[in-house]
Structure 1
Amino acid sequence: MIESMTGYGSATNDKYIVEIRSLNHRYLEIFMKMPPYMLQHEIPLRNLIKSRFERGRFDVMITLKDEKSFGLKINREYVRNVYIALKQVQDELSIPGQIDMDTITGYRDYILEDKQEYDESTLFDTFQKALSSLEEMRIKEGSFIEKDIAKGVDKIMDINNEIKRLVPLDYERKRTKFIERIKSIVTGELIDPNRIYQEIVIMGEKLDISEELSRIESHISQIKNVINNEKVVGKKLDFLLQEINREVNTIVCKSANDEISRLVIEMKSEIEKIREQAQNIQ
């Protein structure tokens, strides 16, 4: 099942509001915003995200519904110790400058916050619900992307089959053209039919694209298998599309047939469309 990397999920109750947004990203990246007194739970909450998702940028915001304004106190003993220590170092090393409040405010611990009361189990429960809401949206979006990719893959297969149909005709055209060219250069009595046949075989091997077409079929089969049976498909899909594109480029170099060239351009266009979609999925 394909899952999009773009989504939004939220959960709320009488205590918490949890909002999680996810965007496209090559790897898994998490940014969390929560009250300072909840920071002790940041790592466990991050691990919950990692346990359910593989790729994407996640922006998490956690707030208390009835968060009361809390008092701030200056940690006077801490400020005094910092000032004395800095003053001693300044005197010992003859360091110029002034130690003032701007210096002190560079130290975070000089402010003490009143402790807030909150229910940890309810926090984690609400967070899990927000993750489920996000996952539901990502799966829903992924189903639309999956349909578009399936259509594109079928189109590539149809084009591949059409090129296969043209290969024998293209070979016969080249063979006839080659013989006519030889006859126009060499007089009839000097022509060795066996030699011409050997040259045609060598030419056919050099220009044969059946191997490339077979590999494209194999890659398409692998793409379908990945889409239908795996959850994390983005990177694999991108790799297989690169392989198909490589085979297509080889076909372009080998074939001089106008109709095949037109079909190849069409196939490359479909590959690019699918690659763009692959950037949006996990």
Structure 2
Amino acid sequence: MIKSMTGYGIANFENERFIISAEIKTLNSKFLDFNLRSPRQFSDKEIEIRAIVGDILDRGKVNLNIDFTAKSSNELPVSINQGLFETYFAKYQSMAKAVGVEDNMDLFRMAAQAPNVVTTLSDKSDDPEEWEAVKKVIVEAAQKCDGFRSDEGETLFNKFKENLGVITEGLEQIKIEEPKRKERIKTRIKNNFTEWIEENSFDENRFEQELIYYFEKLDITEEIVRLGTHLAYFDKTMSTGKSQGKKLGFISQEIGREINTIGSKANDAAIQRHVIIMKDELEKIKEQALNII
């Protein structure tokens, strides 16, 4: 069954330590166009996250937002070198006394801002429990998005069935009109050339050959057969396998080629009316096929 590339999925997790949320939105794209917004502590996990999402969603424009909130923390996000601070402070105090300055708060700020006294700890998370929880939430969100895509794909499947039905009905009407068209052509040729043939000498064999060539140029039997084959193949492809979007696009092009050829070769108003309706339905198929995985 086909799947749409339009999807949405959200998943949440909460325990006594943290709250995690993952939201995925997808649109159509020829390839996996992945965009990630996540907390800095998981910035080194982007390749792994992309692989997780790609295995489930295959392709499309994917936007993933991850939120991670720690409920409480007794640890500072920085490291303070107490000994180095005291050394700086003592040195600054000694220098201040030498020049008669006694503002210890200024000395405190200078010592605290001195090189290597306060260093920022790494943003990377080294807690395996956190990362495992985040992965599970990502997988859940991706699976929900995949389910959304399946539901949308079922809607498109039914719509494609309707479009194919209209085109197939048009083809059947053309089959009915084709013998009538041939008779109209024969009658027109006979009426146009009867008088000329009676008044002028001509090579009957050559004339017959020209008529055969003319009818072969206007014959649409092969196009009718091929169009029916393409329609059946499109219907079969929708119901089998996965990632059929590109294949359906190629089949749509072939369907369009046969419809256009029928219209141009037939050169008949009755058939052309059916061709116009068929082309309109095919455009709807082509537009939606771009959104199929």
TM-score, length of structure 2 as denominator length? 0.78
% of aligned pairs identical? Answer: 32
Give the secondary-structure state (helix, strand or coil) at the position aligned to 1:65. Answer: strand
Report the equivalent of 2:217: 206
**Distance (Å, rounded) in 2 between the aligned partners of 1:237 and 1:61:** 32
Deviations 1:178-226 (A, max 9, x none): 1221112221684666555433322211100111111111111110111
Q: Which has the larger radius of gyration?
A: 2
How many matched pairs? 249
Verify the 8 A CA contact 1:71 1:113 in the aligned structure 2: no
CA contact (8 A) 1:71 1:114 kept: no
User: Distance in 1 between the 2:49 and 2:217 partners?
Assistant: 59
Q: Which residue of 1 aligns with 2:6?
A: 6
Please name the residue that 1:236 is paired with. 247
1:38 corresponding residue in structure 2: 42
Which runs of 5 or more structure 2 residues have no equivalent in the other structure?
82-118
Is 1:261 the equivalent of 2:272?
Answer: yes
- AA partner of residue 290 (structure 2): Q
- State the secondary structure of the residue aligned to 2:255: helix
Distance 1:189 1:74 in 2: 110
Aligned to 1:53: 57
Distance 1:148 1:115, change over 3 A: closer
Please give the residue correspondences for 1:1-282 in structure 2 after superposition, counting only pairs within 5 Å.
1-14=1-14, 15-66=19-70, 73=78, 112-113=121-122, 116=125, 117=127, 119-187=130-198, 190=201, 196-282=207-293
| Alpha-carbon distance between aligned partners in 2 of 1:173 and 1:74, rounded to the nearest angstrom | 94
Distance 1:193 1:180, change over 3 A: farther
Letter in 2 for 1:240: I
In structure 2, relative to structure 1, the CA distance for the partners of 1:71 and 1:184 (3 Å cut) is farther
Q: Would you say the 8 A contact 1:18–1:130 is kept in 2? A: yes
* Shift of residue 19, structure 1, vs aligned partner: 0.9
The two structures, once aligned, show a CA RMSD in angstroms of: 2.4
SS of match in other structure, 2:70: coil
Counterpart Cα distance in 2 of 1:209 and 1:237: 24
Q: TM-score, normalization: structure 1?
A: 0.80
CA shift in 2, pair 1:210/1:62, >3 Å = same
Query: Against the structure 1 CA distance between its residues 250 and 114, is the aligned structure 2 distance closer, same or farther, given a 3 Å change threshold?
Result: closer
Between 167-176 and 187-196, the greater mean CA deviation after superposition: 187-196
User: Post-superposition, which runs of at least 4 consecutive aligned residues in structure 1 deviate over 6 A?
Assistant: none
Rounded to whole Å, the distance in 1 between the matches of 2:44 and 2:122 is: 15
What are the ranges of 5 or more consecutive residues in structure 1 without an aligned counterpart? Answer: 77-109
